[in-house]
């Protein structure tokens, strides 16, 4: 009794999810059916009431809150509910725009850097990649994220040109939905390909794997509909010989904590995209998720291990809190 579970949703319409208003309306409708039931029954009630896949971020938030309560009641972490031997910390990547940024984050202990490409000219992006590699040296991983900016031919030409710079992987070189083109880029370019915008759920991930379109799946629990669905995709990917990376969807520390528990449960080896809280003006949790030497440490304590900051919550609330009873 008295346990409080946390979940948050930060919809990403570019991934096909509904917006905040739609998620809020759906939550009002389903909340009375979630009171007083366990996680499995709560999620069955949610799926019966809210079948729309576009509401995946809301589903993730509800499941997160349920798992948080269940783990607290059991005196264990959410990660330990998801898997028997979770990791204590997860490597995370930093994002750098230029060699000055890159040198700074390497000095802070990060071992993997992500560079956004595709918005500049090909020559400019090649020069940026070369400059970053020179700045960070040969031992730091360098990954690229094109966000679907290129055509198949552009992707192959660019990736061949920068092959000498030891690129760990390139995320979504062509637009989502072009799995045949993704496979051909993967086969021709000599750089591992990661699917991101194409991984919108369990079945979408299965299609990517069946098309041989990616070496790595980027898994956002909020986009795929929850922590357990994220774990299902991890298992599916590994069974198919693919690797995984877990990332946030620009949530507060509550949502990032959920993604961290997934990555820890899955014991993901590649650096995960969880270091996004620094991109926000503020956070809603009082216990900061720490990055030490390029790794995010799993919070101590039961459940998600994070606590809402009441002052921050009051500052950023756009409507009064509501209590919904069965």
> 116 or 41, which is more confident?
116
pLDDT at 1 over 60: no
What is the tens place of the pLDDT at every residue in 7-44? 998 877 877 788 888 888 888 888 888 877 877 888 89
What integer best gives the mean pLDDT of the chain? 93
% of the chain at pLDDT higher than 70: 99
Greatest pairwise CA separation for the chain in angstroms: 61
Using alpha carbons, list the distances in angstroms from residue 220 to 23, 42, 167, 198, 293.
17, 21, 22, 11, 23
What is the tens place of the pLDDT at every residue in 274-317? 999 988 999 999 987 989 999 999 998 999 999 999 999 999 98
Residues 35-54 have a mean pLDDT of 84
* Predicted pLDDT of residue 32: 86
Q: Which CATH architecture has domain 89-297?
A: Alpha-Beta Barrel (3.20)
Query: Beta strand 216-219 with 243-246: parallel, antiparallel or unpaired?
Result: parallel
Select which of 220, 229, 261, 270 is catalytic.
220
What is the tens place of the pLDDT at every residue in 177-190? 999 999 999 999 99
Select which of 22, 89, 101, 116 is catalytic.
116
Q: Please say if 114 is a catalytic residue.
A: no
Quote the CA–CA distance of 222 and 227 in Å, as a whole number. Answer: 8
Domain ranges of the chain: 13-82, 89-297
Q: How wide is the angle at C-alpha 194 spanned by C-alphas 188 and 200, nearest 5°?
A: 130
């Amino acid at each position: 009794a008295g346990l409080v579970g946390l979940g948050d949703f930060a919809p990403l319409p570019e991934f096909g999810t509904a917006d905040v208003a739609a998620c809020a309306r759906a939550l009002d409708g389903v909340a009375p059916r979630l009171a007083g039931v366990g996680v499995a029954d709560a999620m069955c009630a949610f799926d019966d009431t809210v079948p729309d896949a576009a509401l995946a971020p809301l589903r993730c938030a509800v499941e997160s809150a349920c798992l948080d309560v269940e783990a607290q009641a059991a005196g264990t972490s959410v990660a330990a509910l998801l898997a028997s031997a979770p990791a204590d910390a997860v490597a995370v990547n930093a994002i750098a725009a230029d060699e000055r940024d890159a040198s700074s984050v390497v000095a802070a202990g990060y071992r993997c850097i992500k560079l956004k490409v595709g918005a500049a000219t090909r020559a400019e992006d090649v020069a940026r990649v070369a400059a970053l590699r020179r700045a960070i040296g040969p031992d730091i991983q360098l990954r690229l994220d094109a966000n679907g900016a290129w055509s198949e031919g552009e992707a192959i030409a660019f990736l061949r040109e920068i092959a000498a710079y030891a690129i760990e992987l390139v995320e979504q070189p062509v637009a989502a939905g072009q799995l045949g083109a993704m496979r051909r880029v993967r086969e021709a370019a000599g750089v591992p390909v990661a699917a991101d915008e194409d991984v919108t759920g369990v079945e979408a991930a299965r299609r990517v794997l069946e098309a041989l379109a990616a070496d790595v799946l980027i898994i956002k629990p909020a986009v795929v509909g929850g922590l357990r669905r994220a774990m299902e995709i991890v298992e599916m990917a590994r069974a198919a010989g693919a690797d995984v990376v877990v990332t946030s969807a620009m949530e507060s520390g509550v949502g990032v904590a959920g993604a961290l528990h997934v990555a820890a449960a899955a014991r993901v080896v590649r650096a995960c995209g969880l270091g996004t809280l620094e991109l926000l003006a503020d956070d809603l949790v009082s216990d900061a998720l720490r990055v030490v030497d390029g790794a995010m440490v799993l919070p101590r304590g039961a459940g998600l291990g994070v606590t809402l900051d009441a002052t921050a919550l009051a500052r950023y609330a756009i409507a009064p809190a509501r209590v919904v009873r069965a």
